[in-house]
Amino acid sequence: MHGAMKKRERPGFSLLELLVVIAMIALIASAILFAMFGALEEAKGARTRAEITRLHEIIMERYAAYESRSLQIPAMAALSRLPDPREVARVRVLAMRDLMRLELPDRITDVADVGPNSAGPTELRMYYPNIYAANGTQFVNVRLAPPSLHLSYRKRATAATVSWSEAHQGAECLYLIVSSIHEEGGDPIDFFASSEIGDVDLDGMPEFLDGWGRPIGFFRWAPGFESPMQLANPETNPDPFDPLKTDVRWNPPPPQVPQPVKAGLLPGTYRLVPLIYSAGRDGLVDMVDQGSAFHYKQTPLLTALQTATTPPYCTLGAKVYPNDPYYFDTGSGYLMGQELDVNGDGILGYLDNITNHLIEVK
């Protein structure tokens, strides 16, 4: 033998090869994590759509019932003696709108106040200008007893354990409505999982939560929201609650002319569908909602009637319609529910919103 055998060198990895392997492992891991995150987000979206579909069916069943709902108005006999019989139909429309406000609230003031014109805790009193009267100064006094449903809302909202805040008031009103419905075969609220209900702001008023754990918002009326379900066209999609077109936007007394809800639309009013919505993945609603500097103010009725100062039908010195669903804020130029870049960040956050208007409900 030629001496000791040479020791065989053990092959190894160079630093560069190790870095390449680590990079490949990191790349594969990130791809897996990204796919898992995408699947998780899709699952959250699917859960939210299913939840909003259920809520839509519940709310729309109650909302549609108002088309045939009877109203006990003690003033009807007096109304029948008014100069124009259309006044009876018009007052009924306005009274029905206020009944809907009381039974389908979407903000604290709908529950906390008996009405925009209150005569005490036992009745709702509304005063309407008789726009068909020759001099336009005759007024109609309508009294409605607060519905029992509204009184039950008030009781729950004023319980000792509640300190109701405005942060998620629309969502909390939605829960208040659904949880108050009792039916044979099971109450609707029983079909929601505990994970779909919470109290995000800890004010004692629960909300329905979407797949991301955020409150699901609610509008009784969102005239600024455009969708195939809610076309802002009075001619092809008229308001079913006002079949005789008594709203002054349709048929004002002379010399006034018909006016649209908003500039650019046809004169008249159109069908509104309650809006139930989630902010989606990004958490940005970007919509004129209850958190905006808006509320259901009262739309001035006629230019000639804007000098009165006697409550309860006055706002900032103008005679008004009580509880106008189509309220247009002339100061801001926006309608409730209108989509816009609220925070001005240049991102249209409403594009990924999940709403009942855009979900096909079978």
| Cα 82 to chain centroid, rounded | 36
Structural domain spans, the chain: 40-358
> pLDDT tens digits for 280-308?
999 999 988 776 555 444 444 433 334 44
* pLDDT > 90: percent of the chain: 39
**What's the confidence (pLDDT) of residue 301?**
40
Question: Cα torsion for 288, 285, 103, 87, to the nearest 10°?
Answer: 30
Q: Is 73 or 266 the better-scoring residue by pLDDT?
A: 266
Q: In whole numbers, what is the pLDDT of the chain averaged over residues? A: 79
**What's the confidence (pLDDT) of residue 119?**
44
Asked whether the beta carbons of 123 and 147 are under 8 A apart, the reply is no
> pLDDT tens digits for 113-152?
544 444 444 556 666 666 666 555 566 666 677 789 998 9
C-alpha closest to that of 105 among 145, 150, 142:
150
Q: Which of 6-20, 56-70, 242-256 has the highest mean pLDDT?
A: 56-70
Q: Which of 228-237, 245-254, 296-305 has the highest mean pLDDT?
A: 228-237
Alpha-carbon dihedral sign for residues 70, 74, 76, 79: negative
